[in-house]
C-alpha cells in the first residue's frame, strides 16, 4: 500500500472532522434556537454547566477511582463565592464593607473565576485530607456527608451574621461582562442580534473546551497515568514509587476547581443562588452523567451530559402533550419520569454496561 495515502488520508479526515466539529459548536445555538426557541438554548447552556461539573467529577471518579457523592458542594462553593463578591448582599449587611465599597461589591469575572477555582480546590483538599485512607464505599458516604454539611451551613449561616442569607438565597448577582459586553443583554454584534442565552452559550462552550483540553492533556500525562494506576491497584501503584496520597489529593483539588468554576458561571448566569440548587439529587445527576457516559472517558462523559441534560426537556416537550392528548390531562409529571429514568439508568448501566455507553478502550491505557 502506498505509504503517503495511509498517512495523509486519516490526517485529512481528522482535519475535516475538526472543522465540522467547530462549525457544529458555533452553529448549535442558532440551529437549536431556530428550531425550538431560546428555551432550548438555555437548556444547552445548562448542559454545558453540567459538562464542566461532570468533567471535574470525572477526574475524581473516572481517573482516580474515588467515588465522590458530594461533588455538588464544590459547585455550591463557586456559586456562593460569586454571589457574595458580585452582589449587593454583603455591602447591605455589613456597614464596614459599605463604607469601603460605596458602589457595592462588583468583582470582575476575571478575578472571580480563578478565585472560585482556588477556593473550591481548597475545599477539595479539606475534604480529601482526612479521607485519604478510606476504602471506596466509606469514601462515598463521607463525601455525601460533606456535601450535606456544606448545604446545611449555607442554609443556616444567616445567623448570627447574615453571610449566606439562609434559605432565601442571594439575589441580583451580577451577570458576566466581558470586554464591556454585558452577556445578560441582547447584543448587536457584527450586524447580528445575539440574545443573552447565545452569548452565555459561547462563553460556556469556550470554558468547557478549555476544560476538555486540560483533561485530555492530563489524561495522557504522567499524572493521568499515575491516577489510573492508583485506581486500578493502589498498593501496586505505591510499590512502584507513586505518592498515592498526593495523587489523590491532587485529583480532589483539580476536580473541585472545575466544579468551582462551573458554580461561579452558574451564579452569574442565573443571577440567584439558594441552598436548594445544591441538593444531593444534583450530585447524583452529575454522577449519573459520568457513570452512564463512561467513567474516565471524555467523549463518553460529554455524551452522558448531553443525553441526561436534554432528557428532562425532551420529556417535558413530548410526554406532557402526549398525556394531554391520550388522557386529557397530565397524569405523571415529566419530572418524575426523569427521576425514574435516572434510577433505572444507574442500575442498568451497572448491570449490563459497567463501563458506560461509550467506554474508554482499555488497550490505549
Which has the closest alpha carbon to 259: 82, 39, 101, 51?
A: 51
Of 104 and 320, CB closest to other proteins: 320
Which has the closest alpha carbon to 147: 31, 44, 27, 287?
A: 287
Q: Is 315 in the site for other proteins (CB under 8 A)?
A: no
Span interacting with other proteins, options 46-54, 213-221, 312-320, 346-354, rule CB under 8 A: 346-354
Query: Longest C-alpha distance within the chain, in Å?
Result: 78
Of 81 and 144, CB closest to other proteins: 144
Tell me the backbone φ, ψ of residue 316, rounded to 5 degrees.
Answer: -65, -40
Of 23 and 332, CB closest to other proteins: 332
Q: Is 332 in the site for other proteins (CB under 8 A)?
A: yes
Q: Is 327 in the site for other proteins (CB under 8 A)?
A: no
For cell 470586554, the residue is 179
Which of 339, 357, 358, 359 contacts other proteins by CB under 8 A? 339
CB 177 within 8 A of CB 113: no
Nearest distance from residue 235's CB to other proteins, in Å?
Answer: 12
Site map 219..258 versus other proteins, x via CB under 8 A: ----------------------------------------
Q: Is 319 in the site for other proteins (CB under 8 A)?
A: no
Span interacting with other proteins, options 42-50, 178-186, 192-200, 332-340, rule CB under 8 A: 332-340
Say how far apart CA 47 and CA 350 lie, in whole Å: 23
Site map 141..180 versus other proteins, x via CB under 8 A: xx-xxx-xx--xx-xx--xx--------------------
Span interacting with other proteins, options 20-28, 113-121, 170-178, 284-292, rule CB under 8 A: 284-292
Which has the closest alpha carbon to 73: 137, 109, 136, 125?
A: 125
Alpha helices in 37-62 (DSSP H): 38-57
Say how far apart CA 297 and CA 51 lie, in whole Å: 13
Say how far apart CA 223 and CA 216 lie, in whole Å: 12
Nearest distance from residue 137's CB to other proteins, in Å?
Answer: 5
Please give the size of the binding site for other proteins, defined by CB under 8 A.
43
Say how far apart CA 285 and CA 147 lie, in whole Å: 14
Nearest distance from residue 344's CB to other proteins, in Å?
Answer: 7
What DSSP string runs through 157-203? TTSSS-SS-GGG-B--PPPPEETTEETTS-EEETTEEE-HHHHHHHH
What DSSP string runs through 104-121? -----HHHHHHHHHHHHH
Contacting positions for other proteins (CB under 8 A): 65, 67, 69, 130-131, 133-138, 140-142, 144-146, 148-149, 152-153, 155-156, 159-160, 280, 284, 287, 291, 332, 336, 339-340, 342-347, 349-351, 354
Amino acid at each position: 500500500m502506498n505509504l503517503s495515502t495511509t498517512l495523509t488520508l486519516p490526517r485529512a479526515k481528522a482535519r475535516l472532522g475538526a472543522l465540522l466539529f467547530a462549525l457544529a459548536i458555533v452553529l448549535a445555538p442558532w440551529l437549536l434556537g431556530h428550531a425550538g426557541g431560546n428555551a432550548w438554548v438555555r437548556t444547552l447552556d445548562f448542559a454545558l454547566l453540567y459538562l464542566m461539573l461532570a468533567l471535574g467529577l470525572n477526574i475524581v471518579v473516572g481517573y482516580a477511582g474515588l467515588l465522590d457523592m458530594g461533588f455538588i458542594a464544590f459547585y455550591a462553593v463557586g456559586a456562593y463565592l460569586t454571589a457574595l463578591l458580585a452582589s449587593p448582599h454583603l455591602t447591605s449587611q455589613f456597614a464596614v464593607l459599605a463604607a469601603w465599597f460605596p458602589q457595592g461589591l462588583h468583582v470582575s469575572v476575571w478575578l472571580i473565576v480563578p478565585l472560585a477555582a482556588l477556593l473550591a480546590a481548597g475545599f477539595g483538599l479539606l475534604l480529601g485530607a482526612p479521607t485519604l485512607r478510606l476504602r471506596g464505599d466509606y469514601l462515598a458516604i463521607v463525601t455525601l456527608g460533606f456535601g450535606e454539611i456544606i448545604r446545611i451551613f449555607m442554609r443556616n449561616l444567616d445567623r448570627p451574621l447574615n453571610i449566606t442569607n439562609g434559605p432565601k438565597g442571594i439575589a441580583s448577582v451580577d451577570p458576566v461582562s466581558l470586554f464591556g459586553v454585558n452577556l445578560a443583554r441582547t447584543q448587536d454584534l457584527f450586524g447580528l442580534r445575539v440574545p443573552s442565552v447565545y452569548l452565555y452559550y459561547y462563553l460556556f462552550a469556550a470554558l468547557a473546551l478549555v476544560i476538555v483540553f486540560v483533561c485530555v492533556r492530563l489524561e495522557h500525562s504522567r499524572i493521568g497515568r499515575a491516577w489510573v494506576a492508583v485506581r486500578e491497584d493502589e498498593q501496586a501503584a505505591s510499590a512502584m514509587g507513586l505518592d498515592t496520597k498526593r495523587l489523590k489529593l491532587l485529583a480532589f483539588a483539580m476536580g473541585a476547581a472545575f466544579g468551582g468554576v462551573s458554580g461561579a458561571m452558574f451564579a452569574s448566569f442565573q443571577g440567584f443562588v439558594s441552598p436548594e440548587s445544591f441538593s444531593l439529587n444534583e450530585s447524583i445527576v452529575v454522577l449519573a452523567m459520568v457513570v452512564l457516559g463512561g467513567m474516565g472517558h471524555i467523549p463518553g462523559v460529554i455524551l452522558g451530559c448531553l443525553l441526561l441534560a436534554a432528557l428532562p426537556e425532551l420529556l417535558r416537550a413530548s410526554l406532557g402533550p402526549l398525556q394531554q392528548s391520550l388522557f386529557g390531562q397530565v397524569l405523571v409529571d415529566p419530572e418524575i419520569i426523569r427521576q425514574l429514568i435516572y434510577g433505572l439508568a444507574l442500575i442498568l448501566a451497572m448491570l449490563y454496561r459497567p463501563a458506560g455507553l461509550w467506554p474508554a478502550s482499555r488497550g490505549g491505557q
